[in-house]
Amino acid sequence: MKKILFLFLLFSQCMFSQTLFEKAEKLYKEKKFEEAKGLFESYLKSAPNHQKTIEYLGDIAGNSKKWDVAISYYKKLKLQNPNSATYWYKYGGALGMKAKSINKFKALGMISDIETAFLTAANLDKKHLESRWALVMLYIELPGIIGGSETKAVKYADELMAISKGEGYLAKGYIDVYYKRYKAAEVNLIKAHQLGKSAITYDKLYDLYMYKLKDKEKAQNIKK
C-alpha cells in the first residue's frame, strides 16, 4: 500500500511539474516574460538540469538586458552541450551585448571569448546562419588592431551566400554600407530584396536610398 501511495505521489508531482512548465512556456510565447520567469524558476527547482527551462530563463534575462544572468544560463547550457551551435551562439551573443554596455577597456578583455563562442558555433554547424552573421558584424565593427578584418568578414559573408543567397547578398550589402561603398551596396541589397522580399531587406534598401544615397525618389519607389 505504501509503495502504491509513493508511486501515486511521484506521478502527481511529475504531472504538476509538467503542467508548471507548460504554463510558463505559454506565458513566454505570449511575451509575458516576468510571469513566465517566476514559473520557470519554480520548475527549475524540481528539474535543475532541464535545458529548455534554462534556455528560456536565459532568453528572458537577455530580453531584460540582464547580460550577466543570461551569460550564466547560457554558459551552463554550452558546458552541458559542448556540441550545440545554438548554445555557443547564445553565449557569445550575451557576452557581446554585455561588452557593448560596459567600459571599452573592460570590453577588450571579452573579445577573445566572444570570437571563440561564435567561431565554435559556426564550426559545429556548417549551416548556422546566426553565428556567421555575428562574425561578419564582429569583424567589421572591431578595429583592425584588435582583430577587426574586412577579409574575415567577407569570408563569413561568402559562407552565408553558400547557405542562402539572400542572406549572403544582405551580408555583403551590410559590409559595403559600413565602408560607404553605397553603389556596390545598392547592387547587393537589391538582389537580397528580390530574393527575400522581407521587412529586413526592405528596411535596409530603403535606409540606403533615403539616408545614404539621399535619393528620395528611389526610396519612395521601393516603399510602393
CB 147 within 8 A of CB 141: no
pLDDT of residue 224: 76
Q: How confident is the model at residue 17 (pLDDT cuts 50, 70, 90)?
A: low
Residue whose cell numbers read 556548417: 126
CB neighbours of residue 47 within 10 Å: 16
Rounded CA-CA distance 7/48 in Å is: 21
3-state class percentages of the chain: helix first, strand second, coil last, to nearest 5: 85, 0, 15
Q: Which residues contact residue 219 at a Cβ distance below 8 angstroms, ignoring those fewer than 6 apart?
A: 206, 209, 210
pLDDT of residue 15: 46
Q: What percentage of the chain carries pLDDT values higher than 90?
A: 89
Q: How confident is the model at residue 147 (pLDDT cuts 50, 70, 90)?
A: very high
3-state DSSP assignment of residue 82: coil
pTM for the whole thing?
0.90
101 Cα distance to chain centroid: 17
Query: Taking all residues of the chain, what is their mean pLDDT, rounded to a whole number?
Result: 92
Residue 80 has which C-alpha cell? Answer: 552541458
Alpha helices by DSSP H, listed for 30-164, are: 33-46, 51-63, 67-80, 85-101, 104-108, 111-124, 129-141, 150-163
Residue 89 has which C-alpha cell? Answer: 551562439
